[in-house]
Amino acid sequence: MTNRILKERLDALGLTPQEQLVPVIPSGLASIFLLLVMLLTGLSLKLGDLNYLALICYSVANILFLTHFHFVLIPSPQLHPTHVWTFAIVQVVGSALIVGFLPKGMDNYIGGLMILLCITASIIADRKPASLILGGFTLVLLIRNLQFLTEIDNWARLLGATLVAAVVNEAIHQYKTLATRNISRLRIVNDFSRKISSSLETEQVLNLLSATIPNALSADSYFFGLAEGNEIRLSLLYDDGEYYDNVRTTMDGTLSGWVIRNKKELFLPDLRRNIDLTGVELVIVGNGRNSLSWMGVPIDGIHVQGVMAFASYRPNAFNHSDLELMRNLAMHAALALDNTFHHAEVEKQSQLDSLTGVYNHGYFLNLLKKLTEEACFKRRPLSLIMLDVDYFKQYNDTYGHLAGDEILTALCKTIRRHIKHTDIVGRWGGEEFVIALPGASGKQAQRVAQRIHESMATLKIKSMRKSIPAPTLSQGIAQFPDEADETMKLVDLADRRLYIAKDRGRNQIEPAASHWDKLIS
């Protein structure tokens, strides 16, 4: 056992070196007290000079040794595995040397001392040093009493202390294992919570969850799914050593769907038994093997609903402690996903014009730069339409600003009806808007502009129960990279053409359709 491993054992409960002394104080004091009783008992038995001297030397030397070990070495950061092994070896050798000088009636003291020393070794180390003490003391006592072992009661008397020491040793080991596991799980949850608290991207939260789950629980299969309509999109799915991407499963009739809809956890230790859940059937995802134990907890957030589930091909593979760990991870995951959703909404709102819902000037320009770079890389065209509502100020002055807002909102809705989902719309300023059409030539953009022009001409707008004349539009079109090979040049060209259309009398598209035929030729 290395020094690092010993330190991990001693730090399992998160104690400081001084606090590590507390659990071994009782066994240390009891060991010292038992040696004092042995010494006084030996004196009362009127031992011979040599026996008396041996008992004094052993008791005093061992009292000093145990005092130094318990109250100096154990709380010290310099405690090393060799100190623990030295402690065990010294006690075994000491017992072998002293028993020959003691009367048979004092074997019980040696047995009691063995139990106390095993307790000390078990607390500060693993089974091995304690087992050495247990085996050494037992062997010494058996050899000493070999001639008396013909009767059962003598075996029981000699091995009674050994059995007690073995049980205590194992109990301490199991307690430390359980405590270490629980502390480790708490650290996993705390570490996960700390990391995702600063995560503002959904993908980042899922990546952290993917990295945390394997360290938290041992399972043949696990997944994390979010509800989307009547389906569950499994953002994370691991099954029997393989990861699966973009898996979807129905919510109807599934264990996961039951967890999401009822917002309750589900613990099924043995799937070989009948499942008393109305309308639920087992749905297999992953490699197609049937799981024999399953547990799931809901991801219950304000903006997200989902499920986290673990499964095993063995029955009774999980316990309620595992379920509690899942519940904690799911709670933190739900909070983190709600935060990412809220952040995405805030970020989205910062990108949009508050009135019309299209991109604002700054964000549209950033997107346009990316689109022109992509168009250049893919060697395909990109067209830009700049458009402006004619005499918009007169609308505001005549019908009021609410009517003007209604016109701008109706215009954006009209634009969206005539463009693809890959196209983008932005408010350039005031009543001026801009449309980017990736992959579209100038001639194709001309047709889009014409359709918008015709739709606006037939638009019926009412404000305050009064009909308002449909506005006309002036539009300017430019094509990248044939007419402008840089983003700002493209914007400038479309803007200049827009004002040409205005100067010519408005309600026009510049350039004319024939311009694009010439450009192609």
Helix axes 25-44, 49-68, angle to 10 degrees: 170
Give the 3-state secondary structure percentages of the chain, helix then strand then coil, rounded to 5.
60, 15, 25
The residue among 400 and 436 whose pLDDT is bigger is 436
Quick one: pLDDT band at residue 288, thresholds 50, 70, 90? Answer: low
Round to whole Å and give the CA distance between 357 and 65: 81
Under DSSP, the state recorded for 359 is B
Q: Is the peptide bond before 77 cis (omega within 30 degrees of 0)?
A: no
| pLDDT the model gives residue 521 | 60
**Range 63-74 average pLDDT:** 91
Round to whole Å and give the CA distance between 192 and 325: 12
Round to whole Å and give the CA distance between 9 and 366: 55
Under DSSP, the state recorded for 217 is -
CATH entry, 203-345, from 3.40.50.300, 3.30.450.40, 1.20.120.530, 3.40.50.460: 3.30.450.40
Contact 204, 212 (CB under 8 A): no
507: left (phi over 0), alpha (psi -120 to 50) or beta: left
> 334 phi and psi, to 5 degrees?
-65, -45
| pLDDT the model gives residue 113 | 93
| pLDDT the model gives residue 145 | 79
Q: Which CATH class is domain 361-520?
A: alpha beta
| pLDDT the model gives residue 17 | 54
**The amino acid at 97:** L
| pLDDT the model gives residue 66 | 94
| pLDDT the model gives residue 175 | 84
**The amino acid at 329:** L
Between 64-68, 186-190, 348-352, 491-495, the lowest mean confidence (pLDDT) is in: 186-190
In this structure, what token pair is assigned to residue 497?
Answer: 């053409």
The residue among 30 and 285 whose pLDDT is bigger is 30
Strand ranges (DSSP E) for 155-287?
221-228, 231-239, 242-244, 247-250, 266-268
Contact 244, 272 (CB under 8 A): no
Tell whether the model's pLDDT for residue 422 goes beyond 80.
yes
In this structure, what token pair is assigned to residue 380?
Answer: 């395909």
Q: Radius of gyration of the chain from Cα atoms?
A: 41
Round to whole Å and give the CA distance between 250 and 284: 11
Q: pLDDT per residue over 487-504, tens digit each?
A: 999 999 999 999 999 999
Round to whole Å and give the CA distance between 388 and 422: 22
- Residue 398: how many other CB atoms lie within 10 Å: 12
| pLDDT the model gives residue 477 | 96
In this structure, what token pair is assigned to residue 290?
Answer: 């049937």
Round to whole Å and give the CA distance between 368 and 348: 17
**Range 261-275 average pLDDT:** 86
Q: pLDDT per residue over 111-163, tens digit each?
A: 899 999 999 998 888 889 999 999 999 898 888 877 766 666 666 677 888 89
Tell whether the model's pLDDT for residue 58 goes beyond 60.
yes
Structure-derived torsion over alpha carbons of residues 113, 118, 121, 123, reported in degrees to the nearest 10 = -110
**Domain residue ranges of the chain, discontinuous segments joined by +:** 3-183, 203-345, 361-520
Contact 52, 42 (CB under 8 A): yes
Round to whole Å and give the CA distance between 38 and 422: 91
**Range 6-28 average pLDDT:** 61
| pLDDT the model gives residue 401 | 86
**pTM score > 0.75 for this model?**
no
Round to whole Å and give the CA distance between 123 and 132: 14
The two most distant CA atoms of the chain are separated, in Å, by 131
What lies within 8 Å, CB to CB, of 243 at 6+ separation is 236, 237
Tell whether the model's pLDDT for residue 421 goes beyond 50.
yes
The residue among 244 and 417 whose pLDDT is bigger is 417
Q: Is the peptide bond before 511 cis (omega within 30 degrees of 0)?
A: yes
Strand ranges (DSSP E) for 192-319?
221-228, 231-239, 242-244, 247-250, 266-268, 293-300, 305-312
Distances (CA, A) of 276 to 258, 259, 431, 497: 12, 14, 62, 71
Between 95-109, 182-196, 247-261, 272-286, the lowest mean confidence (pLDDT) is in: 272-286
Q: Mean pLDDT for the chain?
A: 85
Contact 477, 442 (CB under 8 A): yes
Tell whether the model's pLDDT for residue 191 goes beyond 50.
yes
Polymer length of the chain? 521
**Range 225-235 average pLDDT:** 87
Strands 509-510 and 473-480: parallel
Quick one: pLDDT band at residue 281, thresholds 50, 70, 90? Answer: low
Under DSSP, the state recorded for 424 is E
Q: Positive or negative CA dihedral for 446, 450, 451, 455?
A: positive
In this structure, what token pair is assigned to residue 235?
Answer: 């953002």
The 424-429 sheet, strands edge to edge: 424-429, 432-438, 382-389, 473-480, 509-510
Taking Cα atoms as reference points, which of 388, 395, 386, 492 lies closest to residue 430? 388
> 459 phi and psi, to 5 degrees?
-70, 135
Round to whole Å and give the CA distance between 78 and 278: 62
464: left (phi over 0), alpha (psi -120 to 50) or beta: left
Tell whether the model's pLDDT for residue 3 goes beyond 50.
no
Q: pLDDT per residue over 433-483, tens digit each?
A: 999 999 999 999 999 999 999 999 888 877 666 778 888 999 999 999 999
